[in-house]
Amino acid sequence: MKSRTKVVVIGGGIAGCSTLYHLTQEGWSDVVLVERNELTSGTTWHSAAQVTNFGMNQTMVGLKSHSIKLYQELAADPDYPINYHHGDGGIRLANTEAQMQGYRHFASMARGMGVEFEILDAAECARRHPLITKDRLLGGLWDGQDGDIDPAQLCQALARRARNVGAEVYRNTPVTALTQHKDDTWRVHTEHGDIDCDIVVNACGYRVNEVGAMMGVHHPVASMEHQYFLTEPIKAITDFGKRVPLLRCPIDDFYSRQEKQGLLVGFYEQGCKTWGLDGIDPNFVNALCPDDLERILPVLENVFKRMPVLQEVGIHTVVNGPITYTIDGAPLVGPIPGKRNAFCIIGLRAGLGEGGGHGWLLAQQIVHGEACYDTWVIDPRRFSGHANVELTALKAIEDYQNEFRFHFPHEHRPAGRPAKTTPLTPILDALGAEFTVVNGWERMDYVKPSPDFHPSLSFNFDEAFELVAAEVRNLAENVGLTEVNGFNRIEITGADRHSFLDRMFCGAVSKREGRVGLGYLLNDYGMIKGEATVANLPASDRGPARVWYGSAAASEFHDMDWLTKHLRPDEDVQLRSLTNDYTILVLAGPKARAVLSACTRGNWSAVAFPWLSVRECFIGYAPAVVMGISFSGELAYEIHVPNASLYAAWLALRKAGEAHGLKLFGARAVESMRMEKGFLHWKADLLTEFDPFETGLARFVKLDKGDFIGKAALVKRQAEGQRRQLVTLKIAARHAPTRGGASLMHEGAVVGTVTSADWGHRTGLNLAYAYVQPAFCNIGTKVILDMYGDLIAAEVITPSPYDPSFSRMRS
């Protein structure tokens, strides 16, 4: 066994084997995999091993396409062929028009990744699958790439290829401890000796938190028991003459695929069970949980209606095994929060289908620091402190119960809520707020007219449309107030804070005390990594001269990680998170100044406190930091208040607002207004797949300012010419917004992809942002939008269609 290597991958299921193989593909062959037992002896060996191309976003579709391509290549390898039933085809069923609309969106989204799904009616579903009835069936989505693979052969093939180019695999070698050296490299302690390495990867399946504990972290992953059975041969299958397609059924909570001449049928029962929360028997190896068919009886009744043949056929094997779920259902693939040189590929609940792609994206991140797609949807840093074991278990149960039911727009399921609140949450609740969830925070979405107001789950504009319109109208005419909780805030002190930030941002960073600037952080490839405001607070009785770095609520761990990673040991810079200590109250609208003046001392005139100013003050007697920043396009103030004083500040603002028509507004109103202003959202529109020029942010780039992270790459990219351009579109439809991922077409070819969309209540425009090919970026260019299967006219318009001169927010 080696005593030193570059990377130690812990765990020899599909996650570990795929990572090891792809590390070698990225050029690193001095890499090692250690497995406590035999390869695939965790969950992988007993997987149903279905491999689909269907995904909820383009990153997932892209990584699944990679799996399929790789598995096809492995299956065709004459040296070590493996069993892969590729292209049996699969149907996701639906019994509501809303589900069908969702499928049409996912088909439009996948087309942008070169993947074609078909939308079928009920008759066509039944024609393609000989065993199903049309009972309660409206139609489905057809994935022609669907199939299944032999999991053990797949892992052996990947490990074999990795070994062939120098990687080593140590079986029966349990990792017992992990020690991090002072230089952030690792020592992996195993039962057979220690291995020093630069980087460790946790790929330990349901034992993820045993290995997590060895490095002092808890991962938001919980296991569920999951069952399928295998039937005796079915004559109709033999008679069909070809393999029957796979089925995934959100109506009756089951899936099935052909296994020999019978079926494999798996279930997602409501009375489901978590597994291993209180520890896992060390001898649970190549093992299963006891059969528990009782648990699936309630589901079985409907499954029999869908596939009557199952009532007549015998069951010869039951498989009940642990399957991992994360707190939001998507895997955790990337850097481990709070650790250096440590990565994970965990929480895979469809790991056979996805594993090839996840290992590919993880290896790219490890070797190059970034992957070819923006990987935020699978980034382990996407949730911060609240993601504990109890909450994860609740969300895992909820997700399991809804396995094939995708989330609708604005759908936030109830388990584990509220997780993160402020002193205002119960107050807003009592005032009728409907909440949306942002990184666990309950954030006001809009104010309901009555407690029993529940808009329908739909991709169309819902019943809250007019309520949001009214919130926007009052804000534009008078003044509105909302709470923005969870906003990421890092206090940066030290003599070198400005030179540090200068290096981090691609544009000019304001150093003037009392001023706020907006800037962008790039990665080493010149692509957008982050967006933040930089507010320069002068020294006062509240602290020394300091910068408040502010960014999106979800970026709490991500941004701290990025900033601390780039701190130099000789730099006098200190970073302190204030995210959980303060909350923002946003006061916006033409009468905002009057309200602020009525509850504070000081001069708030446009001359004394112009747009992009920052000042410490008191709201009534509540200490606050006020910034002249607007995300709505109206005159607006961000009022940052310590949580202990939040209610006091709220009362003072509400009272002062009475005379000025102050009303509440929520996140939906903000979304509508920011679309009208050309303002972008991190990880919706601001992605690592585009540079700042492509994102339309040239005014925030200063190439002549000296070196900054990503500069050399950006200059090179600029010389090579733009590949995409972010544009604003108006869409010729009134019934629905489009959605991120939808494809823009020209003469039958995809020419762009939507990133954000909403109705602009002040402009009366149905708006979207999209990245398009350069030939389609000029104002007035007309394209066709595939919006839920309908081909709708869309036109490129000038960004910021509301108040294009920005005079209102500067007033």
Ligand X SMILES: Cc1cc2nc3c(=O)[nH]c(=O)nc-3n(C[C@H](O)[C@H](O)[C@H](O)COP(=O)(O)OP(=O)(O)OC[C@H]3O[C@@H](n4cnc5c(N)ncnc54)[C@H](O)[C@@H]3O)c2cc1C
Q: Is 276 in the site for ligand X (CB under 6 A)?
A: no
Q: Is 11 in the site for ligand X (CB under 6 A)?
A: yes
Tell me which stretch binds ligand X (CB under 6 A): 47-55, 479-487, 531-539, 774-782. 47-55
User: In angstroms, rounded to a whole number, what is the distance separating the alpha carbons of residues 392 and 89?
Assistant: 33
Q: Is 15 in the site for ligand X (CB under 6 A)?
A: yes
Q: Is 49 in the site for ligand X (CB under 6 A)?
A: yes
Among 154, 333, 342, 348, binds ligand X (CB under 6 A): 348
Q: How far is the CB of 439 from ligand X (least distance, A)?
A: 25
Q: How far is the CB of 781 from ligand X (least distance, A)?
A: 41
Q: Is 396 in the site for ligand X (CB under 6 A)?
A: no
Q: Which two tokens stand for residue 506?
A: 């691609």
Sign of the torsion angle spanned by Cα atoms 192, 278, 224, 347: negative
Q: Is 808 in the site for ligand X (CB under 6 A)?
A: no
- What are the C-alpha distances in Å from 167 to residues 7, 12, 199? 10, 13, 15
Q: How far is the CB of 235 from ligand X (least distance, A)?
A: 25
Please report how many Cα atoms fall inside a 13 Å half-sphere around the Cα of residue 557, on the Cβ side.
Answer: 18
Please identify, using beta-carbon distances, which residue of 68 and 612 lies nearer to ligand X.
68
Please identify, using beta-carbon distances, which residue of 117 and 170 lies nearer to ligand X.
170
Strand order from edge to edge, sheet including 622-627: 614-619, 622-627, 636-642, 582-588, 479-484, 662-664
Among 204, 391, 560, 563, binds ligand X (CB under 6 A): 204
> Of the candidates 71, 334, 397, which has an alpha carbon nearest to the alpha carbon of residue 203?
334
- Spell out, one character per residue from 567 to 596, where the chain touches ligand X: x when CB under 6 A holds, - when not: ------------------------------
Q: How far is the CB of 395 from ligand X (least distance, A)?
A: 17
Q: Are 436 and 456 in contact (CB under 8 A)?
A: no
Q: Is 510 in the site for ligand X (CB under 6 A)?
A: no
Among 19, 24, 25, 43, binds ligand X (CB under 6 A): 43
Q: How many CB atoms lie within 10 A of CB 119?
A: 18
Q: Is 231 in the site for ligand X (CB under 6 A)?
A: no
DSSP for 556-617, please give it. HHHHHHHHHHT--TT---EEEE-TTTEEEEEEESTTHHHHHHHHS-S--STTTS-TTBEEEE
Q: Are 110 and 53 in contact (CB under 8 A)?
A: yes
Please identify, using beta-carbon distances, which residue of 190 and 555 lies nearer to ligand X.
190
Q: How far is the CB of 359 from ligand X (least distance, A)?
A: 9
Binding residues with ligand X: total (CB under 6 A):
41
Q: How far is the CB of 20 from ligand X (least distance, A)?
A: 11
Q: Is 598 in the site for ligand X (CB under 6 A)?
A: no
Among 8, 9, 10, 772, binds ligand X (CB under 6 A): 10
Among 5, 19, 25, 50, binds ligand X (CB under 6 A): 50
Q: How many CB atoms lie within 10 A of CB 305?
A: 16
Tell me which stretch binds ligand X (CB under 6 A): 350-358, 423-431, 516-524, 620-628. 350-358
Q: Which residues of 63-86 are buried (b: 16+ CB within 10 A; e: fewer)?
A: bbbbbbebbeebbeeeeeebebbe
Among 309, 313, 318, 319, binds ligand X (CB under 6 A): 319
Please report how many Cα atoms fall inside a 13 Å half-sphere around the Cα of residue 307, on the Cβ side.
Answer: 31
Q: Is 194 in the site for ligand X (CB under 6 A)?
A: no
Q: How far is the CB of 688 from ligand X (least distance, A)?
A: 25
582 phi and psi angles, rounded to 5 deg: -125, 160
Q: Is 207 in the site for ligand X (CB under 6 A)?
A: yes
User: In angstroms, rounded to a whole number, what is the distance separating the alpha carbons of residues 204 and 212?
Assistant: 9
Q: Is 446 in the site for ligand X (CB under 6 A)?
A: no
Q: How far is the CB of 270 from ligand X (least distance, A)?
A: 17
Q: How far is the CB of 207 from ligand X (least distance, A)?
A: 4
Q: Is 329 in the site for ligand X (CB under 6 A)?
A: no
Q: Is 161 in the site for ligand X (CB under 6 A)?
A: no
- What are the C-alpha distances in Å from 533 to residues 437, 490, 507, 518, 547? 23, 10, 12, 4, 10
- Spell out, one character per residue from 58 to 77, where the chain touches ligand X: x when CB under 6 A holds, - when not: --------------------
In the three-class reduction of DSSP (H, G, I as helix; E, B as strand; rest coil), residue 772 is classed as strand
> Of the candidates 13, 10, 11, which has an alpha carbon nearest to the alpha carbon of residue 40?
13
Tell me which stretch binds ligand X (CB under 6 A): 104-112, 317-325, 336-344, 545-553. 317-325
Q: Is 418 in the site for ligand X (CB under 6 A)?
A: no
User: In angstroms, rounded to a whole number, what is the distance separating the alpha carbons of residues 506 and 479?
Assistant: 35
Q: How far is the CB of 82 from ligand X (least distance, A)?
A: 15
Count of residues in the chain: 811
Please identify, using beta-carbon distances, which residue of 353 and 589 lies nearer to ligand X.
353
- What are the C-alpha distances in Å from 214 to residues 102, 179, 190? 42, 8, 12
Of residues 164 through 183, those in contact with ligand X by CB under 6 A are 174-175
Tell me which stretch binds ligand X (CB under 6 A): 7-15, 108-116, 447-455, 747-755. 7-15
Sign of the torsion angle spanned by Cα atoms 787, 792, 796, 800: negative
Q: Which residues of 261-298 are buried (b: 16+ CB within 10 A; e: fewer)?
A: ebbbbbbbbeebbbbbeeebeeebeeeebeeeeebbee
Q: Is 92 in the site for ligand X (CB under 6 A)?
A: no
Please identify, using beta-carbon distances, which residue of 226 and 717 lies nearer to ligand X.
226
Q: Is 691 in the site for ligand X (CB under 6 A)?
A: no
Q: How far is the CB of 47 from ligand X (least distance, A)?
A: 3
Please identify, using beta-carbon distances, which residue of 28 and 54 lies nearer to ligand X.
54
Q: Is 306 in the site for ligand X (CB under 6 A)?
A: no
List 84's β-bridge partners, or say none.
149
Please identify, using beta-carbon distances, which residue of 229 and 802 lies nearer to ligand X.
229
Q: Is 443 in the site for ligand X (CB under 6 A)?
A: no
Q: Are 462 and 410 in contact (CB under 8 A)?
A: yes
List 482's β-bridge partners, or say none.
586
Please identify, using beta-carbon distances, which residue of 219 and 306 lies nearer to ligand X.
219
Q: How many CB atoms lie within 10 A of CB 97?
A: 11
Q: Are 374 and 689 in contact (CB under 8 A)?
A: yes
Q: Which two tokens stand for residue 698?
A: 């040239």
Residue bearing tokens 């074999």: 160
Task: Give the containing element (helix H, strand E) for 213.
Answer: helix 208-214
Q: Is 86 in the site for ligand X (CB under 6 A)?
A: no
Tell me which stretch binds ligand X (CB under 6 A): 12-20, 557-565, 738-746, 766-774. 12-20
Q: Is 205 in the site for ligand X (CB under 6 A)?
A: yes
Tell me which stretch binds ligand X (CB under 6 A): 9-17, 643-651, 690-698, 711-719. 9-17
Tell me which stretch binds ligand X (CB under 6 A): 35-43, 509-517, 708-716, 754-762. 35-43
Please identify, using beta-carbon distances, which residue of 226 and 593 lies nearer to ligand X.
226
Q: Is 104 in the site for ligand X (CB under 6 A)?
A: no
Q: Is 226 in the site for ligand X (CB under 6 A)?
A: yes
User: In angstroms, rounded to a whole number, what is the distance separating the alpha carbons of residues 326 and 421?
Assistant: 21
Among 5, 24, 25, 41, binds ligand X (CB under 6 A): 41
Q: Which two tokens stand for residue 524?
A: 């080493």
Among 211, 521, 629, 754, binds ligand X (CB under 6 A): 211
Q: Is 250 in the site for ligand X (CB under 6 A)?
A: no
Please report how many Cα atoms fall inside a 13 Å half-sphere around the Cα of residue 131, on the Cβ side.
Answer: 29
Q: Is 14 in the site for ligand X (CB under 6 A)?
A: yes
User: In angstroms, rounded to a whole number, what is the distance separating the alpha carbons of residues 513 and 546?
Assistant: 9
- Enumerate binding residues for ligand X (CB under 6 A): 10-16, 34-37, 41-44, 46-50, 174-175, 203-207, 210-211, 226, 228, 266, 319, 321, 323, 348-353
